[in-house]
Amino acid sequence: MTVAATAWKSWLDATLGFFYPEICQLCGAERATAAEGYVCGRCWSKPGAVRFIRPPYCERCGLPFEGQLATRFECSNCREMKLNFSHARAAVVASDFVLEVIHRYKYQRALWFEPFLAELLVRQAADPLRREGWDWIVPVPLYSVKQREREFNQAERLAARLGANTGIPVNRRLVRRVGPTRTQTLLNRAQRALNVRGAFAARPGVDLRGDRVVLVDDVLTTGATTSACAGALRAAGADEVCVWTVARGL
C-alpha cells in the first residue's frame, strides 16, 4: 500500500469511527471497524458470500467457468458480442451478499461499505495492474442528472482507491456520458447493448494515442456498458482498454 493510500485509510478510519459504532452493518451482531467497511468476519466467511474469481474463466470477459480447461476459453456471450475492451476482470462473483452491499452503497448512500468493496477490488486488481504498465485509470461516468441525484459516482470512488494503491493516475475528465439511459438491471443482452449505444463520448480535445486505459466500474454483467465506454476511449485513440470491476454477474 502506498503512503497516500495509508494516509487516506487512517483518515477514513478516524472519521467514520467518530460517527459510527464498531458494529457490522449487515448482521448487527459482530464487531467490525471502519477499515473493514463495517462488515464483520462472520459475514465475510458465510458460504458463497465472497467468492474470489480464479481461473479458469473466459479470457475476454472474465466469466468464471466451473471445471478444468486445457485451452483458452471464450464464453458464448463474447463470441456473439463485439466488445471494445481487450479483456475484463472482476474481483468476486456477484453473489446476493455482495450485490446487497453494492446496492446499499450506491442507492442508500451507505458509504461506510466503501472500504469493504475497495478492498475486494484492490486485492485482486492491484498486483496485475502494476505489472502490466497501464497509463490511466478511468471510472465509468454517470449521466450528470443521475450523479446529482445520487450525489456521488461509485465508480469514481472505487477508481480513486485503486489508483492510490497502484500509483496509476486516475482521470475522470477523459470521457463523459452524453445522455440518460434506462437502468440495465431488467434488460436482456440485446436490450442492454441498444440502451447504451452512443451513450459515451470522449471529451473535446482528448487524445489518447499510445495510451493504455483501465476502465473501472462496480459490476459487470454482459459487458454492454463498459464496452460502450471503452469504444469512446478507443475512438479517442487509446491503444488498449481493459476493464476491472468489483463483481461479475453470472
pLDDT tens digits for the chain (250 residues)?
555 555 555 555 556 555 668 999 999 999 999 899 999 999 999 999 999 999 889 999 999 987 776 677 788 888 888 899 999 999 999 999 999 999 999 999 999 999 999 999 999 999 999 999 999 999 999 999 999 999 999 999 999 999 999 999 999 999 999 988 878 877 787 888 888 889 999 999 999 999 999 999 999 998 999 999 999 999 999 999 999 999 999 8
Count of domains for the chain: 1
In a domain, 101, yes or no: yes
In a domain, 58, yes or no: yes
In a domain, 33, yes or no: no
In a domain, 21, yes or no: no
In a domain, 17, yes or no: no
In a domain, 142, yes or no: yes
C-alpha span between 193 and 177 (Å, rounded)? 15
pLDDT of residue 187: 78
Q: How far are the Cα atoms of 48, 60, 74, 75, 248 from residue 81, in angstroms, in the given order?
A: 29, 11, 11, 10, 17
In a domain, 226, yes or no: yes
Query: First CA to last CA across the chain, in angstroms?
Result: 31
- Burial (0-12, 13-18, 19+ Cβ within 10 Å), 12: middle
Residue 58 belongs to domain spanning: 47-248
In a domain, 24, yes or no: no
pLDDT of residue 5: 54
pLDDT of residue 194: 86
CATH code of residue 176: 3.40.50
pLDDT of residue 11: 59
